């Protein structure tokens, strides 16, 4: 049996607190250590060192990120540059330097944002004036108070317009024109002059931004254009000045910026160990997971790098922490695409049966059985090979699924839907649909039984004896299923429902109900409810899951039926039409039916298989690394 992540060890490094940053860095360089964040030694070592360190690092990165956004990316760090251990004093210095640097640059940043906003406003103004170009009025009249009228032109967020319209109506104002796109709209508001005083506050609440039309504007389009061009030029000039200033600033601070980044990256491992490091006074502990094969290397590197004494202890994972042990990702070769599909569902828990091989074999087998056709299978193989550069490892999936399709096509005697070109090695599905359905049901029963067997084994390995016996997919539900199945088979064969099967069903049901009842600590009402529902789920689960496998046969029949439909349609056409229909029909079958069959196969694997026997709640092994790669992954 293939078990996930068998060789992991839990390590505890007892060291002096001053050596913690260095030890973290050593572990990060080795990329062989995943921190264990559990508060295992909380009582003896109550402090989590580096809280202030972490918050400073976070702030320093925040400032550096914003500076980089403003002044442009820094070149990637030279891999030859030695990694440094960041001391607290250096961090304080870098944090302060970056905070001051950002303070110097922030007026520039704010002004650039304002200029962007001004550009947008200018565009709004240009568009507004174009809209009113046909009116025979002085354009500057569109804004401000007149003898009787109060007019405003500007922009508001689009979702504010209905409410603004309603409220303006209450204060005797109207929205006369709405135009524009994106988040905001240009609007022209008009109302009586005596009601103007109350307008400002409403417009402010509505996030209205007036468009600034100078009083000199009149109806001459050339003058308007010139004025707009002049304003744009001023903005562009200022923007370019600001960018120039930033370029100069970058040049004069380039070395400090690179140094800051280098030191912050070096500090990341210590920052990322978080609760995996604990301390009391000068003593500290660092704990986590290391592959057993790399223990020697870890110890040797620590011996070489740490300045103060330390002790490294390692042990095998305990049974109660198996679900917490990170599982290293293995090289998969042919199985890579299947392993990716397994990971879509979940990562195998430490010591759990790794379902990748079983998944690959059953996926390919079921796909072939549902989509059995030598021609269509060959096309799938060819498609995989042609697209190999784009789909990379998924080429294997295409090739294996296509080959399986070809194999079943041979067994069914089907090539591009032609059922008479070759003799079926086994049988043509349409010749005996009931037999096909029986085979599919038999396959389903086998699949579910193997799944339950794996579920029981996985739970036993995890120390979950109660789950192995009583939970869904456990031993007693499997016995219940077998008894029910045996009884039904006997009944169908005319032998009646055997007493032994009835007794086994009753006993297992009593056991399952009792377990559900005893394992619940909910209030009485909820307990009854959950016991009934959970037991029903277990019983119903096996029945519906078994029937679910009928689709394996149904799709093999469907495949033939679709091909027949294409032939029937083609036969109603002339020679050219016949071949065109045949080609299009086959493409339709390969693409659409192929996709549906793949989805259905995946569904059977995930819902009828994985949900039964696969915990899938394992943690992928993400070792501590130098650099900024895993801020969000270690919590």
Partner 1 sequence: MSGLAHQAYLRTRLAIMSENLLGREKLHKLSTLSLEELAKHTGFDKYQGPDPTARLAAFERAQMQIWLDELSALLRPLEGPARRLLTQWASRYELLDIKALVRGKIGQLPNEEIERSLFKLPGFLSLNLDELLNTDTVPELLRHLLKTRYRSLAVQALRRYEENPDPFLLDATLDQQFYSNLINWAQRLEGHDRTETLNMIGRFVDRHNLVWSLRYRYNYRLQTSEVLYLAIDGGRVLNRAKLQQILQMDTLEEALGKLPSNILRSGEMPREITNIEYAMRNDLFEYAEGAMRRSPSILTSVLAYLLLRRGEIKKVYAIVHARVNGLSDSILEEALNPLEDIAA
- From candidates 94, 164, 478, 624, binder to partner 1 by CB under 8 A: 164
- Residue whose CB is less far from partner 1, 126 or 165: 165
- From candidates 38, 58, 318, 603, binder to partner 1 by CB under 8 A: 58
The C-alpha atoms of residue 502 and residue 349 are separated, in whole angstroms, by: 37
- From candidates 161, 202, 422, 509, binder to partner 1 by CB under 8 A: 202
- From candidates 38, 163, 225, 318, binder to partner 1 by CB under 8 A: 163
Question: Which H or E element spans position 625?
Answer: none
Smallest gap from Cβ 195 to partner 1, in A, equals: 9
Smallest gap from Cβ 209 to partner 1, in A, equals: 6
- Residue whose CB is less far from partner 1, 98 or 364: 98
Contacting range for partner 1; rule: CB under 8 A; set: 105-113, 118-126, 246-254, 314-322 = 105-113
DSSP 574-608: -HHHHHHHHHHHHHHIIIIIHHHHHHHHHHIIIII
Smallest gap from Cβ 268 to partner 1, in A, equals: 15
The C-alpha atoms of residue 223 and residue 232 are separated, in whole angstroms, by: 14
Phi, psi (rounded to 5 degrees) for 87: -85, 155
Smallest gap from Cβ 181 to partner 1, in A, equals: 14
Smallest gap from Cβ 170 to partner 1, in A, equals: 6
Cα–Cα–Cα angle for 218, 224, 225, nearest 5°?
165
Smallest gap from Cβ 24 to partner 1, in A, equals: 21
CB 69 within 8 A of CB 266: no
Smallest gap from Cβ 171 to partner 1, in A, equals: 5
Q: Applying CB under 8 A, does 44 fall inside the site for partner 1?
A: no
Residue with tokens 């200018």: 122
Q: Applying CB under 8 A, does 523 fall inside the site for partner 1?
A: yes
- Residue whose CB is less far from partner 1, 97 or 567: 97
- Residue whose CB is less far from partner 1, 525 or 574: 525
- Residue whose CB is less far from partner 1, 65 or 297: 65
The C-alpha atoms of residue 98 and residue 28 are separated, in whole angstroms, by: 25
- From candidates 18, 130, 241, 526, binder to partner 1 by CB under 8 A: 526
Q: Applying CB under 8 A, does 193 fall inside the site for partner 1?
A: no
Q: Applying CB under 8 A, does 295 fall inside the site for partner 1?
A: no
Beta-carbon neighbour count of residue 260 at 10 Å?
A: 24
| CA dihedral (507, 513, 516, 520) positive or negative | negative
Q: Applying CB under 8 A, does 14 fall inside the site for partner 1?
A: no
The C-alpha atoms of residue 437 and residue 443 are separated, in whole angstroms, by: 10
- Residue whose CB is less far from partner 1, 102 or 606: 102
Q: Applying CB under 8 A, does 113 fall inside the site for partner 1?
A: yes
- Residue whose CB is less far from partner 1, 472 or 484: 472
DSSP 360-418: HHHHHHHHHHHT--HHHHHHHHHHHHHTHHHHTTHHHHHHHHHHHHHHHHHHHT-BTTB
Where are the strands (E) in 206-323, listed by range?
209-210, 277-280, 283-291, 310-315
Pairing between strand 326-327 and 619-620?
Answer: parallel
Q: Applying CB under 8 A, does 160 fall inside the site for partner 1?
A: yes
Contacting range for partner 1; rule: CB under 8 A; set: 58-66, 381-389, 404-412, 448-456 = 58-66
What six digits make up the tokens of 582? 């045949």
Q: Applying CB under 8 A, does 522 fall inside the site for partner 1?
A: yes
Q: Applying CB under 8 A, does 110 fall inside the site for partner 1?
A: yes
Cα–Cα–Cα angle for 305, 311, 317, nearest 5°?
110
Size, binding site for partner 1 by CB under 8 A: 36
Specify which residues 20 forms β-bridges with. none
Within 221-250, the residues that bind partner 1 by CB under 8 A are none
- From candidates 7, 31, 145, 159, binder to partner 1 by CB under 8 A: 159
Q: x/- site string to partner 1, residues 528 to 557, per CB under 8 A? A: -x----------------------------
CB 475 within 8 A of CB 469: yes
Alpha-carbon 480 to chain mean position: 38
Residue with tokens 């009854």: 528
Specify which residues 174 forms β-bridges with. 190
Which spans of this chain sit near partner 1 (rule: CB under 8 A)? 55, 58-59, 61-62, 66, 102, 106, 110, 113, 157, 159-160, 163-164, 166-167, 170-171, 183-184, 198-199, 201-202, 204-209, 522-523, 525-526, 529
């Amino acid at each position: 049996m293939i078990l996930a992540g068998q060789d992991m060890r839990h390590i505890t490094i007892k060291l002096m607190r001053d050596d913690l940053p260095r030890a973290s860095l050593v572990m990060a360089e080795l990329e062989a250590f995943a921190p264990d964040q559990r508060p295992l030694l909380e009582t003896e070592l109550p402090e989590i060192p580096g809280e202030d360190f972490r918050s400073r690092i976070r702030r320093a990165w925040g400032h550096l990120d914003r500076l980089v956004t403003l002044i442009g990316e820094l070149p990637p760090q030279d891999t030859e540059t030695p990694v440094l251990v960041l001391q607290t004093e250096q961090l304080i210095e870098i944090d302060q330097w970056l905070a001051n640097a950002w303070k110097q640059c922030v007026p520039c940043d704010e002004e650039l944002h304002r200029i962007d906003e001004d550009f947008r406003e200018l565009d709004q103004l240009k568009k507004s004036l174009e809209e009113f170009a046909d009116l025979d009025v002085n354009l500057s009249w569109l804004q401000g108070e007149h003898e009787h009228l109060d007019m405003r032109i500007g922009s508001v967020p689009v979702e504010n317009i209905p409410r603004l319209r309603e409220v303006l109506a209450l204060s005797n104002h109207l929205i006369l024109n709405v135009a524009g796109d994106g988040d905001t709209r240009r609007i022209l508001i008009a109302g009586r002059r005596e009601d103007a005083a109350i307008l400002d506050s409403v417009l402010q609440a509505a996030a209205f931004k007036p468009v600034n039309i100078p009083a000199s504007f009149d109806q001459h389009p050339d003058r308007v254009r010139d004025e707009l061009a002049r304003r744009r030029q001023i903005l562009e000039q200022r923007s370019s000045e600001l960018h120039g200033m930033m370029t100069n600033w970058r040049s004069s601070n380039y070395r400090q910026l690179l140094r800051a980044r280098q030191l912050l990256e070096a500090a990341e491992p210590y920052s990322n160990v978080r609760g995996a490091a604990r301390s009391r006074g000068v003593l500290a502990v660092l704990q986590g997971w290391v592959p057993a094969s790399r223990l020697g290397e870890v110890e040797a590197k620590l011996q070489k790098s740490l300045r103060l004494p330390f002790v490294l202890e390692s042990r095998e994972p305990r049974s109660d922490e198996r679900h917490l042990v990170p599982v290293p990702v293995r090289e998969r070769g042919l199985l890579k695409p299947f392993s990716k599909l397994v990971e879509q569902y979940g990562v195998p828990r430490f010591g759990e049966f790794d379902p990748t091989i079983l998944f690959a074999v059953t996926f390919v087998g079921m796909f072939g059985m549902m989509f059995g056709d030598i021609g269509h299978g060959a096309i799938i193989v060819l498609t995989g090979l042609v697209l190999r550069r784009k789909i990379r490892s998924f080429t294997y999936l295409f090739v294996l699924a296509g080959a399986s399709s070809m194999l079943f096509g041979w067994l069914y005697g089907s090539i591009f839907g032609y059922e008479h070109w070759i003799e079926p090695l086994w049988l043509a599905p349409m010749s005996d649909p009931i037999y096909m359905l029986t085979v599919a049901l038999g396959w389903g029963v086998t699949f579910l039984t193997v799944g339950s067997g794996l579920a029981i084994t996985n739970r036993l390995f995890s120390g979950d004896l109660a789950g192995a016996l009583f939970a869904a997919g456990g031993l007693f539900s499997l016995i219940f299923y077998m008894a029910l199945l045996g009884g039904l088979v006997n009944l169908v064969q005319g032998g009646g429902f055997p007493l032994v099967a009835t007794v086994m069903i009753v006993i297992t049901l009593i056991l399952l109900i009792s377990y559900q009842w005893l394992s619940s600590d909910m209030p009485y009402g909820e307990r009854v409810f959950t016991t009934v529902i959970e037991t029903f789920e277990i019983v119903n689960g096996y029945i519906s899951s078994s029937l679910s496998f009928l689709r394996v046969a149904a799709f093999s029949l469907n495949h033939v039926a679709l091909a027949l439909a294409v032939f029937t349609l083609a036969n109603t056409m002339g020679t050219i039409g016949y071949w065109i229909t045949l080609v299009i029909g086959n493409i339709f079958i390969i693409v659409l039916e192929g996709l549906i069959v793949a989805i259905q196969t995946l569904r059977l694997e995930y819902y009828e298989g994985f949900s039964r026997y696969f915990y899938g709640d394992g943690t992928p092994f993400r070792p501590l690394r130098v650099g900024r790669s895993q801020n969000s992954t270690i919590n």
